[in-house]
């Protein structure tokens, strides 16, 4: 499995929020400066994280972003679901019309790929943001 740039940058930015000693908002520019991330890209990612209720924005001169819930309740799976368009896409749904490699026959691999995906998702659900933050 390959971790995309979107997921990597989202995790790095969320780690910066979580590393703060005080629970107060942090601006995207501060997050990007501390984590050496491109601001325009992080702004796009944070829109998705906000839609999925992983972060919340605080408006005003002392505004910025905060985690919307405790770090121990945010999994790597949650983050990936928020920022990736096709993260949980089916590799094969058994319909030969959708998959040219099935060649009109039931695909012998779709159960295997789905089983592997399910195991990966279960593992990613176990990895919480607080664990990731503790490593830095």
- Torsion of Cα atoms, 25 then 31 then 33 then 38, to 10°: -140
pLDDT at 20: 84
Q: What percent of the chain has pLDDT over 70?
A: 80
pTM > 0.75: yes or no? yes
Mean pLDDT score of the chain = 86
Tokens at residue 80, please?
Answer: 């990936």
Of 19, 26, 89, residue with least CA distance to 63: 26
Torsion angles phi and psi, residue 128, rounded to 5: -100, 155
pLDDT in tens, 77-91: 999 999 987 665 555
pLDDT in tens, 16-26: 999 986 778 99
**Domain residue ranges in the chain:** 5-134
Measured CA distances, 65 to 13, 123, 124 (Å): 10, 27, 24
Report residue 33's pLDDT band, with 50, 70 and 90 as the boundaries.
Answer: very high
Q: What topology is assigned to 5-134 in CATH?
A: Arc Repressor Mutant, subunit A (1.10.10)
């Amino acid at each position: 499995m390959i971790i995309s740039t979107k997921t990597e940058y989202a995790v790095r930015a969320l780690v910066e929020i979580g590393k703060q000693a005080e629970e107060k908002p942090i601006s995207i520019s501060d997050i990007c400066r501390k984590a050496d991330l491109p601001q325009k890209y992080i702004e796009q990612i944070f829109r998705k994280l906000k839609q999925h209720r992983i972060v919340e924005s605080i408006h005003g001169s002392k505004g910025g972003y905060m985690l919307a819930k405790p770090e121990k309740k945010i999994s790597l799976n949650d983050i990936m679901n928020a920022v990736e368009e096709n993260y949980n896409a089916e590799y094969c749904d058994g319909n030969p019309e959708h998959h040219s490699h099935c060649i009109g026959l039931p695909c012998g691999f779709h159960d295997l790929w789905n089983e592997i995906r399910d195991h990966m998702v279960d593992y990613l659900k176990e990895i919480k943001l607080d664990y990731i933050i503790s490593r830095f």
